[in-house]
Structure 1
Amino acid sequence: MIVDDEPLARERLRRMIETFPGHAVIGEASEGRSAIERVSELAPDAVLLDVHMPGMDGLQVARELANTDLPPAVIFITAHSEHALSAHNSQADGYLLKPVRRDDLAAALARARQPSRAQYSALAGQLDGRGPMGYVSARTRDGIERVAIRDILYFWADRKYTSAFHLHGELLIEQSLATLEQSLAENFMRVHRKALVARAHVTALKYNSDGSACLTLRHVATTVPVSRRRLAEVRALLES
């Protein structure tokens, strides 16, 4: 997303970014307050942010964005080099002087692909199980990946790690099943020492030929085993 009060500056940046593979401009803003609203609406990965703007300046915008749930990377773009220290203190991921050179912009966007300090800070509670459970998150080789709780079908524990099976795949997380069970008790039920299942996605309780029980879930062909110890509780819950 591009934030600059000069239309020609926004157009020049847009044209450069459109030549970069894997990048797209999803929105623009010409002043600070609307920029914050657009970031909330569009959730861009990175914001190219002018420092000098009418009303709320870029430094104020960056400070507000840093306090959001998952802040975007911020790259300051300005004609005033004296703001470099302030930009650094605002946890910016880059600082470019106008007129912006294509190579410098490409390098700044490449650096912005790595999670920022603000992003790591915002996700720290979720990574260690202390934060609000709207999402589960994990560090991957590409950065930080997170999945909305509403999209998770079930959790499966194996040794020291837990897998979150969701609508779009699988995510390996560090939170224990016990921690997840406590945080998500309203929407998930423990059906096995290794399994925690989303109640909303359960379609049936079935019995195998050997007498063991399992649950079938929406959106996935795999069944989830139900332990004998949990069977009566699961059956009562489904019947209610």
Structure 2
Amino acid sequence: MNVLIVDDEELARSRLQRFVESEQLGTVIAVASNGVQAIEAVETFLPDVVLMDIQMPTMDGLEAARHLTQLDTPPAIIFCTAYDEFAIEAFNVQAVGYLLKPVRKEELKTAFSRLDKINKAQSLALNKETSRSHISAKTHQGLELVAVENIILFKAEQKYISVIHKNGEVLIDEPLKDLEDEFTEKFIRVHRNSLVRKTAIQGLEKCDDGSFSLRLNCYSESVPISRRHVAQVRKLVKGL
């Protein structure tokens, strides 16, 4: 069984690796120090199991796990965390295995004996409490991460959402309403098919037919505003 260890503390990584190898639970094929590195390592090394901390810089373990559920064959995940049981339940991740630090050998062995792949129910439970720092999209190159701070526009197109960002565009399969709820502090609904980053707005334009559209930074096309959203958008623009 191939194992990936993810923790921003070197001592914690070394301790887990020593336990895994001494108890012959598997082979540690890679280590990582944050969620972004974890996703890259999973795609590169295809581990069966990920032992992952929750609190880490750049991207925490909860968000990394949520992105990993999009893979066709996601690895099993065991969180190794300083959070107690009640905090874990508050994160809605009780369906995913977890161990409290400092991790003990017997507990690790028991967790390995109960391993299971992440399922859809677990996927929905992951990271519901906080918004993501990245959006993940399946591309021909694998799982591509786009930092939310670089996203300009979410645009619904038939069954998919176009995520237009500063470096290009990717497609994701998520409801626009869910994205609106998750990122309501950073994005505003301007049309039934569009969410725009508030800080990307340059100005409001009135079209010849009496309708309105938005000019955005780093995006050459005007974005139409539906009649029902004009007042809300106009209020936001005045406050920018």
In the TM superposition, residue 57 of structure 1 has moved relative to its aligned partner by 7.1
The one-letter code sitting in structure 1 at the alignment partner of 2:235 is A
**Match of residue 218 from structure 1:** 217
AA of the residue aligned to 1:117: P
Q: Answer with 1 or 2: which has the greater Rg.
A: 1
Residue in structure 2 matched with residue 174 of structure 1 by the alignment: 173
**Structure 1 unaligned residues grouped into runs of 5+:** 1-31, 37-54, 77-87, 93-113
TM-score w.r.t. the length of structure 2 is 0.53
Deviation at 1:58, TM superposition (A): 4.2
2:95 corresponding residue in structure 1: none
Aligned counterpart for 2:10 among listed residues 33, 45, 55: 33
- Evaluate the alpha carbon distance shift between residue 200 and residue 63 of structure 1 in structure 2; reply closer, same or farther with a 3 A threshold: farther
Over the matched positions of the two proteins, sequence identity in percent amounts to 33
How much does 1:69 deviate?
2.1
How many angstroms does 1:117 deviate by?
Answer: 2.8
Of 49, 73, 79, which aligns to 2:41? Answer: 73
Root-mean-square deviation (CA, aligned residues, Å) is 3.9
Q: Which has the higher contact order (CA 8 A, sep 6+)?
A: 2
Cα gap change, 1:189/1:91 in structure 2, threshold over 3 Å: closer, same or farther? closer
> Structure 2, unaligned stretches of length 5 or more?
1-8, 21-27, 52-71, 78-116
Q: Residue type of the partner of 2:236? A: L
Q: Does 1:162 align with 2:161?
A: yes
Residue deviations 1:211-235 (CA, integer Å, cap 9, x gap):
1111011111111110111101110
Indicate the residue corresponding to 2:146 in structure 1.
147
Which one-letter code corresponds to 2:41 in the other structure?
A
Aligned partners of 2:48 and 2:76 also within 8 Å: no
CA positional deviation for 1:141: 2.2
1:133 counterpart SS class? coil
Deviation for aligned residue 1:146: 1.4
With structure 1 as the length reference, what TM-score do the two structures score?
0.53
Q: Which runs of 4+ in 1 moved over 6 A?
A: 118-121
Deviation per residue, 1:147-184 (Å, 9 max, x gap): 01100001100111110100001010011110000000
Q: Name whichever structure is richer in strand by fraction.
A: 2
Contact 1:213 1:225 in 2 (8 A): yes
The CA distance in 2 between the partners of 1:172 and 1:227, in whole Å, is: 23
